[in-house]
Amino acid sequence: TPQSLLGTREEYPALERQLSYYNPLNTFALAKGDQKHYQQQYGDMYFLRLAKIKPTVEAYAHEQWKEFEVAGEKVHRVDRVLDVRRGELCWVAGTVYMDMPLKPNILDDISKDHWISAPPPREKYLSPTGQDQIMLEDESGRLRLVGTPLQLTMLVTGCIIAVMGTENANGDFEVVDLKVPDLPPQPQRWERDDASGIISNGTGSKKRKSDSEPSRAEGGKIAIVSGLGISGDQGDTLTLDLLMEYLLGEACSPSEQSSVSKISRLIIAGNSISEGILLAPREDEKKASKKYGYDSTAYNPAPTARLDDFLATLLPSMPITLLPGETDPANVSLPQPPIHTAMFPHSRNYSAQPGSVEPGWFDSVTNPWDGDVDGWRILANSGQPIDDVFKYVEGDERLEMMEQLLRWRCGAPTAPDTLCCYPFQEKDPFVIEECPHVFFVGNQPSYDTTVIEGPQGQTVRLICVPKFRETGEIVLLDTDTLEPEIVKFHVYEGQQS
């Protein structure tokens, strides 16, 4: 009866998805068409980075060391590394270069060109015989560093530091202390949105804020997942379906549905597609002559089609930000451009129109990526910078590596030395000029999180996002407290015989 139907509607009210306040930045966007060139020298990137960060680290080092003296001798600053003199207590700033024999070199490329099997990629570049050397360089030259503080501090190629000490009889610089730039200034929450006077409702449309505007909703959450590893076969269907039904609220109790409705946005942090899988040739093709170059018949469209279906099912309910990863169909060099929407014939209807400056409901972005979500500045990447730093250092403390990236003020210090990147000439976008509130990295071995603090009261939430295909875990980040939680999906495979 109408009354019973009315009663049902009152007992089970419709839940509405929390709005997403989304204001992305274009920090890592590359030029397009004829404006993008690869003929430039990569060395210019190091000079750009040094010119940008050196004044900051010098100001910090001067503040810390201005009263320092040894045996009555006060420390003084020298402008260039080659201005260091033997026996004089001084300090100088420059770029770290790790001279490591086990790092990749041009001989590996030559061996590939001559059809000689190249050695497999190394897990670590560290020399077991202690042959690694730490250098400090600038536009004038290079100086070898030695000393105990170097063994206690994480250093990789490309980070900018200031070192204090003296040159010894061997011509090496004996380090007494060293300083890094530390965390940059941090914007206030909603600072960028309020400055522009604009509120975004997550649909790509924006409206001018007024006094009559309702207050921003509280209690929202951001879902973060990485490493979906979609291969297109039946093996990854059930777990993906569980994730999809959870985000849509279809596989939840009424109380859990209320919690899921607070998820305002899904961010996918790379490696949505598994490693390239070629189609097996047909019997009649095996007898054909061998083809050289790209063979379109070996392309397997199943993974991208499955990802497109996954996204298209979620998009009517929630906005999605998609970062490319190492295994995704995007240029391997950092910053990786967005995955082209032509790969998603069903999902691209939710993306922004060509030429539009407003983000769409489906936003395919660069890797790394930064922007404001619900007022918080977020910096994210799909894992390549951390995985490369891992090869330079001992241990596997991923959170410590993430912390050092922020304190070095460089999101990819080892690029372009051992990490492929675009040869920038005018500005190094990997230099972190504003401290994020949240820094998360995708495709890590396991989930981990912590909070770090800076000298000016900055606080940053660090999150290691695990690979979903291996762990079945996604991260839910509370937008009020920035406290993360884990939701784990597991498929029961029965008892083993």
- pLDDT tens digits along 267-282: 999 899 987 655 555 5
Show the CA angle centred on residue 361, arms to residues 360 and 363, nearest 5°.
Answer: 60
Closest CA to 28 of 375, 376, 415, 464: 415
Q: Which residues contact 55 (CB under 8 A, 6 or more apart)?
A: none
In the chain the first and final C-alpha atoms are separated, in Å, by 54
Helix or strand (DSSP H, E) at 289? none
Beta bridge partners of 136: 96, 143
Write out the two tokens for 149.
Answer: 């503080």
Q: For the whole model, what pTM was predicted?
A: 0.87
CA angle 76, 77, 80 (to 5 degrees): 145
Give the chain's length.
Answer: 497
For residues 375 and 19, the answer to whether their CB atoms sit within 8 Å is no
What is the strand order of the sheet 320-323 is part of?
A: 362-364, 320-323, 263-269, 221-225, 473-478, 484-488
pLDDT value, residue 295: 55
What six digits make up the tokens of 398?
């991923």
Residue 155 has pLDDT above 90, yes or no: yes
Q: Is the pLDDT of residue 445 over 60?
A: yes
Query: In the predicted model, what is the mean pLDDT of residues 18-46?
Result: 84
**Is-contact 209 196, C-beta < 8 A?**
no
- Ranking 140-144, 181-185, 299-303 by mean pLDDT, the lowest is 299-303
Angle, in degrees to the nearest 10, between helices 302-314 and 237-248:
20
Q: Give the pLDDT confidence score for residue 473 in this predicted structure.
A: 94
What's the confidence (pLDDT) of residue 446?
95
Both tokens assigned to 247: 């985000």
With vertex at residue 206, the alpha carbon angle to CA 204 and CA 212, rounded to the nearest 5 degrees, is: 145
The residue type at 77: R
Q: Decide if 462 contacts 452 (C-beta within 8 A).
A: yes
* pLDDT computed for residue 496 by the predictor: 53
Read off the pLDDT of each residue in 366-370 and give the average, rounded to a whole number: 95
Q: What mean pLDDT comes out for the span 395-421?
A: 93
Tokens of 290: 């061998």
Q: Which pLDDT belongs to residue 239?
A: 86
Neighbouring residues of 84: CB distance < 8 A, sequence distance ≥ 6: 78, 90, 92, 143, 167, 173
Burial string for 454-473 (b: 16+ CB within 10 Å, else e) reads beeebebbbbbbbbbbebbb
> Rounded to an integer, what distance in angstroms lies between the CA atom of residue 307 and that of residue 317?
16
Mean pLDDT in residue range 111-131: 71
H or E element at residue 261: none
Does 208 score more than 60 pLDDT?
no
What is the rounded CA–CA span in Å between residue 310 and residue 474? Answer: 16
Tokens 């509280």, residue located: 218
Q: How far apart are CA 357 and CA 33, in angstroms?
A: 18
Q: Mean pLDDT, to the nearest integer, of 26-46?
A: 82
Strand-pair category, 206-208 with 198-200: antiparallel
| 484: amino acid identity, one letter | P
Percent of the chain with pLDDT over 70: 83
User: Residue 294 and residue 300: Cα distance in Å, rounded?
Assistant: 13
